[in-house]
Amino acid sequence: MSVRTTCCVVGGGPAGMMLGLLLARAGVEVTVLEKHGDFLRDFRGDTVHPTTLDLLDDLGLGERFAALPQSRVDEVVIPDERGGAQRIGNMSLLRRVGVRHPYVALVPQWDLLNLLAEVAADEPAFHLRLDTRATSLVRENGRVVGVRYATTTAPGEETTGEIRADLTVACDGRHSVLRAGSGLPVTEYDVPFDTWWFRLPRRPEEQRATLRPRIGKGRFAVVIPREGYYQIGYLAPKGTDARLRAAGVEAFRADIADLMPEYADRVDQIASMDEVKHLDVKLNRLRRWHVDGLLCIGDAAHAMSPIGGVGINLAIQDAVAAATLLAAPLQRGTLTERDLGRVRNRRLLPTVLVQGLQRIMHRNIAGPALAGRLDGPPAPLLRLMRAVPAAQIVPAYLVGVGFRPERAPDFARREPVPAG
């Protein structure tokens, strides 16, 4: 079976759902394919930064988003050499530069995606196909003209077909099927670590909205406060997943208790290593983001390190730029490769700068810590933040606002919709 749409978006993550909503509000016929039957996945990017919160306001969704269960982080604190703690990032200072939401909201990604799907469903031009995965690109005369897909209809049963489109957008993540089929060359950057995600209970009295990295010789972890629990990212050298699992949960609990003794009384809540989810960290970037008829954005164009938690927000910024630049030529039926190249041209600088900062962090903090050459935060950083507290706005701005934030195009803006 073959169907037709103007834009086929592959991947129902933050970039894909945002792009689908924006294009539909422009009146562009858009079909989003999502390979799963729902959005319920654990340990996905759950950080929503100030720029994305501004975007949701522009779309009329700020109040509905604020009603979702969430925790908020407005500072980053690290242990200092005196046995105390030193704040190195203070988002409340962002009010001085006009930031409306001076915090990072931590929301289960499925709640954000469900919100976008509900709102997009009100647009006649929007179509979402769940349980549908793209299997390959369809080409004619050297141009991508759509995708082949398989839809799960029952356990072990699928139907197949084609979706023809003026534009296909790969939003299918760091393991993108469409990117692999495109032949676009990828530049890979060395990453010295992988990440293991797990949860520990968070007690009612532990409510400070603080992000707390932990550094010890050969180990590094980040403690993220969530509603009722801590989400913890444990960093260890690449290639150690099998060793960690072979050592067993008792050894892992002991390691966590040693690195973060304040949580030693609850590490027994990690029932087994099945609750510790491994993320193969990648940092890469396409040299070109498009071929004729196909555009890659988000992780499909540039996989990000978890340092800073900025991947979801960069992906959404890509989607906003793509919708802003491509809605009109899609409406007119005049889309060219030059139009697709304009998306990369607009988004390349912030991508390169953020990845550059992440590589600096890998080289100077994460790498030395995991190699056993660093057993605490860099002393010059502590001295600077202690002597000049106003400097705490710099990391807050780089993480929370970043480079070249995008705003919603006029055609997508709506009046606020009350929650409920």
- 182: Cβ–Cβ under 8 A, 6 or more apart, which residues? 137, 144, 170, 291, 294, 296
Q: What is the mean pLDDT of each run of 10 residues along the chain (420 residues)?
A: 93 96 98 88 76 96 93 81 74 92 91 96 97 96 96 89 98 95 95 93 76 79 86 91 95 93 93 94 96 98 89 95 98 97 97 93 84 75 84 88 93 86
Residue whose C-alpha is closest to residue 322's, from 288, 355, 354, 345 = 345
Structure tokens at 383: 């001295």
- Count Cβ atoms below 10 Å from residue 334 Cβ, excluding itself: 10
Q: Check the CA dihedral 67-68-71-76 and report its sign.
A: negative
What is residue 265's predicted lDDT score, i.e. its pLDDT?
93
Residue 83 has what pLDDT?
A: 60
The model carries a pTM of 0.93
Distances (CA, A) of 382 to 18, 309, 357, 388: 39, 22, 19, 10
pLDDT score for 377: 72
The two tokens of residue 339 are 């139009």
Answer whether 191's CB lies under 8 Å from 362's CB: yes
Query: What was the pLDDT predicted at 315?
Result: 95
